Amino acid sequence: MLCVVGMPGCGKSIFLTAASELGYCIVSMGDAVREETEKRGLPPDRHGEIARILREEQGLAAVAYLVVERITPDCIIDGIRGMPEIEVFLQKYPVEIVAIHASPSTRFCRVQKRKRPGDPFSWDEFTERDARELKFGIGNVFALADYMLVNESTIEDFMKVCQTFLERRFQ
């Protein structure tokens, strides 16, 4: 099983598109949080708040418990935020971590262009969200990643990097 970690706007969705095109099963922790947000009758732009609340209520592995029954040994899990989540998955299958990195300025520009629900509008909001992600322990996952892909290029170039990585990794 491969777990994908990256800060908002780093290019995780490009990696997941490449994986999906190659036929890999994707399990999204973010989708699980969005489902929980909807269950609670809240608008999509509140999913970041729900992720925080879930972790306060149930511990730092709360989101992993939402998806653990969906995973298989050959799936790719998107949206890892901390080592407690990795530990949940390790109870079922061996795990490798791929970290996707892009600089804060690059990520901010991308987030400004994509305008997803809940995306920050200002630099201050962006850095606040980064701080929230770091509090979940995402930096520890980065430090322990088995692989790191740097995305400071175009979508097309990074897609090629991802395809090459996945083809080599899963041969």
Q: pLDDT tens digits, residue range 29-67? A: 989 999 999 999 998 888 888 888 998 899 989 999 999
Q: Does residue 3 have a pLDDT over 90?
A: yes
* Vertex 125: Cα angle to 4 and 137 (nearest 5): 35
> What residues form DSSP beta bridges with 27?
77
Exposure on the CB side of residue 146, measured as CA atoms within 13 A: 12
Q: What is the mean pLDDT of residues 130-143?
A: 89
pLDDT in tens, 109-124: 999 888 776 778 899 9
Write the burial class of residue 115 (CB in 10 Å: 0-12 exposed, 13-18 middle, 19+ buried). exposed
> What residues form DSSP beta bridges with 96?
2
pLDDT bracket for residue 88 (50, 70, 90): very high
Q: Does residue 162 have a pLDDT over 90?
A: yes
Structure tokens at 110: 């991308």
pLDDT of residue 170: 64
CA distance 124 to 34: 24
Q: Which fold has domain 2-28+72-169?
A: Rossmann fold (3.40.50)
pTM of the model: 0.87
CA distance 89 to 80: 11
CA distance 7 to 89: 20
- Please state, in angstroms and as integers, the Cα–Cα distance from residue 140 to each residue in 67, 143, 145, following that order: 21, 5, 9
CA distance 114 to 76: 23
- Residue 23 contacts residue 115 (beta carbons within 8 Å): no
